[in-house]
Chains A and B, each alone.
Chain A
Amino acid sequence: MDPSSLNSAELERFLNQEKERAMVNEMVAKLTSACWDKCITSSPGSKFSSSESSCLTNCAQRYMDMSLIIMKRFQSMN
């Protein structure tokens, strides 16, 4: 195969992979923003307190739990 040719299957695979990566990045960015607002209430210190870092972890994981509940709720609507 000509190494410089880009067939549509390969391009599609590449684009899907990049799309997935972009979605993951967007998710992390969105959650970081939301959880930062919820968990970091005082002026940022030279390191996170243990309660701040566990709040961030919990915040991200509860968001996922919530998404699941919402998805189920909407699936049962039809």
Chain B
Amino acid sequence: MDSFSSHSSMGSGSPQISAEDLKDQLKNQLAQAYAQEFLETVREKCFDKCITKPGSSLSGSESSCISRCVERYIEATGIISRALFSAPR
């Protein structure tokens, strides 16, 4: 049975939620999941690049490396995206 075919199948007794609300919720959750994954990747990449020998505290050069690394990783994401979808092949 098509579980999306009627409102009644969305759960009896639960408050009705509008189509737009459902879409917004889905989009928000997807965006949140994407952001979390992106953050985790950036952490991993920049830890590899910038914290090569963990000391007793984060040094100034390490923290400036981290901010540069984060900026470059975001830039790299844009470059890859353009290379795939807008560059002439």
Chain A residues within CB distance 8 Å of chain B? 3-8, 10-12, 14, 18, 21-22, 24-25, 27-29, 31-33, 35-36, 40, 43-46, 48, 53, 56-61, 64
Residue contact B80 to A43, C-beta cutoff 8 Å: no
Distance of A22 Cα from B27 Cα, bound (Å): 10
Say if the beta carbon of B53 comes within 8 Å of chain A: no
What are 14 A-B pairs at a CB distance below 8 A? A3-B18, A4-B19, A6-B4, A6-B22, A14-B26, A18-B26, A22-B34, A28-B80, A32-B76, A36-B45, A36-B73, A43-B50, A44-B71, A60-B79
Question: Which residues of B are at the interface with A, using a C-beta cutoff of 8 A?
Answer: 2, 4-5, 7, 16, 18-20, 22-23, 26-27, 30, 34, 37-38, 41, 45-46, 49-50, 65, 68-69, 71-73, 75-77, 79-85, 87, 89
Residues A60 and B80 in contact, CB atoms below 8 Å apart? yes
Interface SS of chain B: helix
Q: Are A53 and B79 in contact (CB under 8 A)?
A: yes
Are B77 and A64 neighbours in the complex by a CB distance under 8 Å?
Answer: no
Residues on B with beta carbons closer than 8 Å to the beta carbon of A21: 30
Q: Which residues on the B side are within 8 Å of A10 (C-beta)?
A: 19
**Which residues on A sit within 8 Å (CB–CB) of B72?**
40, 44-45, 48
Contact of B41 with A29 in the complex, beta carbons under 8 Å: yes
Whether B84 pairs with A33 at a CB distance below 8 angstroms is no
Could you tell me if A43 and B49 are in contact, using CB atoms closer than 8 angstroms? yes
Task: Give A25 to B69 CA distance when docked, in angstroms.
Answer: 20
